Amino acid sequence: MSAKAKLELPDGSQANIKTFPVNHSETVIYPLTSDQTLNKESFRLWQFIRLPPELGGNKNDVSAFRMYSQICLHLWCLWKYWPDPGRKRGECPCHGSMYDPLNGKAFAGPASLQSPPSNVLPMLDLETDGNGNIWILPPIWSPNKNGVVGFGRFLKV
């Protein structure tokens, strides 16, 4: 099993609880390599989200964050998180699938009509250190654990 990885933001800094804005997201690469061509591969793109306040985003711990595969489970387009009032959800621009930022489950559009596990986005587990830096824990690529990119995961009850 690999070691935990630094959650690197697009500007090269490490994500930190103290500085990452509430109700905000960034596209990040995981696993990040030194090969810039490989890093452009869509299946390495993840939405790193700090939840809105009403969903716990103002907490100063790792529970305020989510990290989901950016590959829509319908036909593999790239979805993104929209922080706007009245939206605050993930949306796929291709066919309109919408994802709940709390658990990654599709609640509208074609992905919501698919059977589990193909209606819940793969998710990476995160942890913080004493300085508030955020780290990605080594995933287990299984539908019963972190999920499989492009396929999905089962929700834990």
pTM above 0.75, yes or no: yes
Per-domain boundaries in the chain: 5-136
pLDDT, tens digit only, all 157 positions of the chain: 579 999 999 999 999 999 999 999 999 999 999 999 999 999 999 999 999 999 999 999 999 999 999 999 999 999 999 999 999 999 999 999 999 999 999 999 999 999 999 999 999 999 999 999 999 999 999 999 999 999 999 998 7
Could you tell me which residues come within 8 angstroms of residue 10 by beta carbon, excluding any fewer than 6 positions away? 26, 27, 28
Could you tell me which residues come within 8 angstroms of residue 147 by beta carbon, excluding any fewer than 6 positions away? 69, 117, 120, 121, 122, 123, 141, 153
> Cα dist. 99→36, 81, 154 in Å?
29, 9, 14
Please report the pLDDT score of residue 142 as a whole number: 98
Would you tell me which CATH number, out of the four given (3.30.360.10, 2.102.10.10, 3.40.640.10, 3.30.9.10), belongs to the domain 5-136? Answer: 2.102.10.10
